Amino acid sequence: MTGAVTGAFALWGELARPALLTVADLRREWTGHRARVVFDCATAGPQHHTFEGPLLREVVGRARPEFDPARRKERSRFLLTVSGGDGHHTVLSWAEIDADFGDAPVLLATRMDGEDLDTAGTQLVVPSDRCGARYVSAVTGIWVGTLPVGVTAGV
């Protein structure tokens, strides 16, 4: 799902308030955070970047995921899939970003190295990842939900 607005992305799934958001919306409506990261991939060597934007958990939290916030085990079942404009996708668990669990400061970046990303689109930033494979450029969609109960491997 994508919007006609440049740099827009859909926030959808098991949410009480799905939304279509832009870089400008993220900058205007949420508190920005800064992350200085180093990608240390075998092929390119260390690359240093600074990203700014709101925390993923705060943006998704405002869309009100359909879980009972008081039930930790229920929250831990939720997944987030993030899709990018180049076809790259990644998956995170709610537990990774939830303050009661992993508390990872995952960002939806609106700026990279001092440059606004309004035209390029939002970038998912997972500061704890050494190589940056879960970084998604030009985010087009974020789906939030759970697997159906009873799904098992190989069945």
Tens-digit pLDDT string for the chain (155 aa): 444 566 799 999 999 999 999 999 999 999 999 999 988 877 778 889 999 999 999 999 999 999 988 888 888 899 999 999 989 999 999 999 999 999 999 999 999 999 999 999 999 999 998 887 899 999 999 999 997 766 666 65
DSSP 3-state helix, strand, coil percentages of the chain (rounded to 5)? 15, 35, 50
Q: How much is the pLDDT for 17?
A: 97
- Six-digit token string for 22: 């832009």
Q: How much is the pLDDT for 51?
A: 97
Query: Do strands 115-116 and 33-41 pair parallel, antiparallel, or not at all (unpaired)?
Result: unpaired
The strand order across the sheet containing 19-21 reads 19-21, 9-13, 139-145, 79-84, 89-93
Query: Do strands 111-112 and 123-125 pair parallel, antiparallel, or not at all (unpaired)?
Result: unpaired
How far apart (Å, rounded) are the C-alpha atoms in residues 64 and 59? 9
- Six-digit token string for 125: 């930033």
Q: How much is the pLDDT for 154?
A: 61
Greatest alpha-carbon pair distance for the chain in Å reads 49
Q: How much is the pLDDT for 109?
A: 97
Q: How much is the pLDDT for 155?
A: 54
Q: How much is the pLDDT for 31?
A: 96
pTM above 0.75, yes or no: yes
- For residue 47, the one-letter residue type is Q
